[in-house]
């Protein structure tokens, strides 16, 4: 795994992390600038989840507190981890309905972009949808499949994660909307993903997804559009590892941009 310039913040015996006033101010600013732009762009389930979680707007929320809310709705928890974790640890946690969260928060120099997840991305981006039953069930089943998968299959599963949980779009009845956490925690990409004419927006097709290279260090070139979270859940109820076995000999599509094929790292998401 690549190195992070940030170090994880360690929870105390009660599971609480001490954030400084400066770090709380970074959270407050990120929250305040992101909230208005997601209103007409995030999917309804995300906005509902954000309301249900009652996240603090002015200080970094504690994973323990977010977990106690999540448990009421879907039995999920969010647990602090180092900035970047192995595939092994990642899937093992998801299989136990524990979402791994990088515990540090970005500094002021990285307000607009950082190539790795921080606590704003993890809590604001990922946690609201973990209140949604179908979405949460997909994550759990996905985690269990990944936990038992070979190292090579985990890489394919990580690509599925990338194009759904991180950078997925959802077609709602009246409009295209965002559910991917990588988009919803980025001011620039929230607007770009829906409104720019640069990226491709393709219907979600599992073989296509598994063959598409991606980059974590630029805005996405391709987004896949699902029709419902049940479409994702159904993938886990069929032979997902069998589909991966079919895809392997086909290989990845050619990279649209230099470096894409080499970027298959989980990025600790
Ligand atoms: Fe993530």
Q: How many residues does the chain have?
A: 269
What is the three-class DSSP state of 5?
coil
263 token code pair: 């970027």
This prediction has a pTM of 0.93
Q: How far is the CA of 90 from the centre of ligand 1 (A)?
A: 11
pLDDT at 257: 55
Q: What is the pLDDT of residue 256?
A: 67
DSSP string, 78-111: EEEE-SS--HHHHHHHHHTTEEEEE-----GGGS
Whether residue 162 contacts residue 87, with contact meaning beta carbons closer than 8 Å, is answered with no
What is the pLDDT, as a whole number, of residue 84?
76
What tokens appear for 208 in the block?
């296509």
* 223 neighbors 193 (Cβ within 8 angstroms): yes
Residue-wise pLDDT tens digits, 214-242: 988 889 999 999 999 999 999 999 999 99
List phi, psi (to 5°) of 223.
Answer: -120, 145
Q: How confident is the model at residue 116, as a pLDDT? A: 86
- Ligand 1 centroid to Cα of residue 166, in Å, is 6
User: Annotated catalytic sites, by residue?
Assistant: 121, 126, 166, 185
Do 170 and 232 form a contact (C-beta atoms < 8 A)?
A: no
The rounded Å distance from CA 67 to ligand 1 centre is 17
178 CA to middle of ligand 1, Å?
A: 14
Residue 100 CA to ligand 1 center (angstroms) comes to 9
Provide long-range contacts, Cβ within 8 A and 24+ apart, for 193-197.
Answer: 193/167, 193/169, 193/219, 193/220, 193/223, 194/41, 194/169
Rg of the chain in Å (alpha carbons): 17
Residues of the chain with pLDDT under 70: 1-3, 256-269
């Amino acid at each position: 795994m690549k190195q992070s310039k940030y170090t994880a913040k360690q929870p105390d015996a009660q599971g609480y992390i001490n954030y400084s006033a400066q770090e709380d101010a970074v959270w407050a600013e990120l929250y305040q600038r992101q909230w208005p732009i997601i209103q007409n762009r995030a999917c309804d389930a995300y906005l509902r989840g954000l309301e249900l979680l009652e996240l603090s707007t002015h200080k970094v929320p504690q994973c323990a507190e977010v977990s106690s809310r999540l448990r009421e709705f879907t039995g999920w928890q969010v647990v602090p981890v180092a900035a970047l974790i192995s595939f092994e640890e990642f899937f093992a946690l998801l299989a136990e309905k524990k979402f791994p969260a990088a515990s540090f928060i970005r500094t002021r120099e990285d307000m607009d972009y950082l190539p790795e997840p921080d606590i704003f991305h993890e809590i604001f981006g990922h946690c609201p949808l973990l209140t949604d039953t179908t979405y949460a069930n997909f994550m759990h089943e996905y985690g269990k499949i990944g936990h038992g998968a070979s190292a090579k299959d985990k890489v394919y599963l990580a690509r599925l994660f990338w194009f759904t949980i991180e950078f997925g779009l959802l077609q709602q009845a009246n409009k295209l909307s965002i559910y991917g956490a990588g988009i919803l925690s980025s001011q620039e990409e929230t607007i770009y993903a829906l409104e720019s004419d640069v990226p491709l927006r393709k219907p979600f097709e599992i073989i296509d997804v598994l063959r598409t290279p991606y980059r974590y260090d630029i805005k996405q070139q391709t987004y896949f559009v699902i029709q419902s979270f049940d479409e994702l859940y159904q993938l886990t109820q069929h032979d997902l590892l069998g589909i991966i076995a079919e895809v392997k000999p086909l290989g990845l599509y050619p990279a649209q941009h230099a470096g894409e094929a080499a970027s298959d790292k989980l990025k600790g998401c």
